[in-house]
Amino acid sequence: MLDLSLVFIISSLCLLTLSRCALAAWQWQRVQQAGGLLPILIGGLRIDANQIAIIVGIPLLLAPWLGHSIPAVELTGIWFQIAWFLLVLLEVSTPQFIYEYDTRPNRLYVEYLKHPQEVFGMLWKGYKIVILAAVVVLGLFAWLAHYLFGHGMPDATMPWWQDILFFLVAAALIFLAIRGTLKHRPINPSTVAYCGDSMLNTLPLNSLYSVTYAIYSMKNERSAADIYGKLSSDETNRIVQQCSGLPAGPADIPTLHQQTSIRPRSRPLNLVLIVQESLGAQYVGNLGGAGLTPELDELAKTAWNFTRAYATGTRSVRGLEAVTAGFPPTISDAVLRLSGAQSNFFTLAQLLKQHGYRSRFIYGGEAHFDNMKSFFLGNGFDELHERSSFKNPAFIGTWGASDEDMFNKLHGLLAEPPSQPTLTLAFSVSNHSPWEYPAGRIVPDGNPATVENTVRYADWAIGRFFEQAKQSDYWENTVFLIVADHDSRVGGASLVPLRHFHIPALILGADVTARRDDRLISQIDLPPTLLSLMGLNTEHPMIGHDLTQTGGGRAMMQYGENYGYLKDDALIVLEPYKEATQFRYTAPAIYTPITLDPDLSREALAHVLWPYWAYRNQAYTLPHLRQKT
């Protein structure tokens, strides 16, 4: 078993590396433009080690006790033949899949397997020569697999203490290989993503890993129709279009529409999205909170300050989904973590790229957390600045570089002489358990390691950055959004605790007029509004309101398995497998049950069904991206 395992490890590494090099050679022009072959090979070695360790793990760990058994050796040989053939099968099918879809085999590959008759008929009619060549290659590799793994010999017996030592060493190595990193989070596709070309970011993967990870990720997808109730797709789209004031769009992207700016500009403005970790309204003085944010309160006086903005969820990925893509919440995981949204999915970066913008993401932590790195690089972002790119940070905590380090990085990038307009997404980390921040910035109240003191520090960092920004050349050419991703400590004795979805949201910079806006709005309304302020006439599928012209008056949020749809003071709550309920909401926490309005209930149902439908049907995209899917 030991010899078989060693042969499998070496042969698999050779197979996958040669396949990866061949794919890179085929796409060499793109590989060169993205920085060469080295990151593909290094990332590939890490992914392959993970994949191979999963396959050989059990045989290696059992080898000290069963390696001398002929039946165990024969069974191991069969297992390795099957595994190696699967590796070969997926690699052989990869070039044609990349040719068709510009990515390695993924969830779409799995979807096709559900319809073998139709798919094989299509392939046979259009690709006879390719199929015949693949069959020949697979036959040769099947023979090679039998040659390599079909004639294993029993291992020699070892002293008992060597068996135990081998087991411990093997277990440690297998664990490290499967985990793939000594950092906080185990390896995933986002770990080895390295550039803004989504196809190249799949080359460090192997195709068996890519497919199995897609299958694993599908657990995050849940159909709202199975849980809350059903509407036809036509009616769902009609209601969503009507509520968003949109005309009927094309069948493949029903919400695609033209948005005209109220303020056309000869020179496009830069856009900076500052997403503050866990900064709920409960802490913000000008929103009736605890008064822990004097800097933010001062900025609100000179900003377009939305006093009734509501987050779409309770996790960072949900807030990032809303702010960067304008995508509404669902009972499924946020699209950042869904395999079907890792490329050709709409984001502001995808849209602004058409207008000559360069987009970048700044994060003080490890950007592969929550799959942010893979999602952003695969959907229009050109640069990623994470913890490893920060030089001499002032403070490193559990979650990464402090907020002041993130803002220093942001200021430095904005101050560089611009060659083109930019979109910059800056995501803070400090305001998070275990409440770590550099000493000497604030005077803590009591125990320094509390959420209240961390909010004070995060606010201090915001104020310090904007002092610099207002004195910089880029100030007059940039629109800034400050918005929380979500509140902290979300909970309460209500089906959807709305007070904990209330967040700060303010727009400032350039020539933004200061005003206090008391309209009820959602996070998804912010991206369309920013586009209008930037002076861009655009075409996009976002259903959020352009608040420069009209809109507001409704918000939507996912709280665990409950969905809330707030329109004016009427709250519809959808619970799994139950009838909808309706309340009259009086902030901050009074819910008065009232008779259900059937039309409003259908409106809420349409808004929770539509995102899943749009995701599954690849209908949340742009026309030129749709052609790639």
What residues form the annotated binding site for Mn(2+)?
A: 277, 485-486
Per the annotation, where are the binding residues? 277, 432, 485-486
Please report the beta strands in 185-288, taking only residues with DSSP state E, as ranges in sequence order. 257-259, 270-276
Per the annotation, where are the binding residues for substrate? 432
**312 and 498 Cβ atoms separated by less than 8 Å:** no
| Cis peptide, bond prior to residue 434, ω within 30 of zero | yes
Neighbours of 514 (CB within 10 A): 14
Tokens of 351: 């849209």
d(CA 331, CA 577): 13
Phi, psi of 191 (to 5 degrees): -60, -35
Of the residues 12, 316, 343, 532, which is catalytic? 316
Cα-Cα-Cα-Cα dihedral sign, residues 363, 367, 370, 374: positive
Q: Give the contacts of 169 (CB within 8 A, at least 6 positions apart).
A: none
d(CA 191, CA 189): 5
- The conformation of residue 552, written as its DSSP 8-state character, comes to -
Angle at 559 between CA 556 and CA 560, to 5 degrees: 140
**313 and 514 Cβ atoms separated by less than 8 Å:** no
364-384 in b/e form (b: 16+ CB < 10 A) is bbbbbbbbbbbbbbbbbbbbb
Distances in Å between the alpha carbon of 355 and those of 342, 351, 359, 537, 540? 22, 7, 11, 10, 13
Tokens of 98: 């990349």
Which ranges of 346-450 does DSSP label H, i.e. alpha helix?
A: 348-353, 372-378, 403-415
| Cis peptide, bond prior to residue 418, ω within 30 of zero | no
532 is catalytic: no
- The conformation of residue 559, written as its DSSP 8-state character, comes to E
- The conformation of residue 464, written as its DSSP 8-state character, comes to H
Strand 304-310 and strand 515-522: the pairing is parallel
The helix (run of H) or strand (run of E) holding residue 565 is: strand 562-567
d(CA 619, CA 325): 13
Supply the DSSP string of 147-202, one letter for each residue. HHHTT--PPPP--HHHHHHHHHHHHHHHHHHHH--SSSS---HHHH--SS-TTGGG
Distance of CA 605 to the CA centre of its chain: 25
Give the residue numbers annotated as catalytic, written as ranges: 316
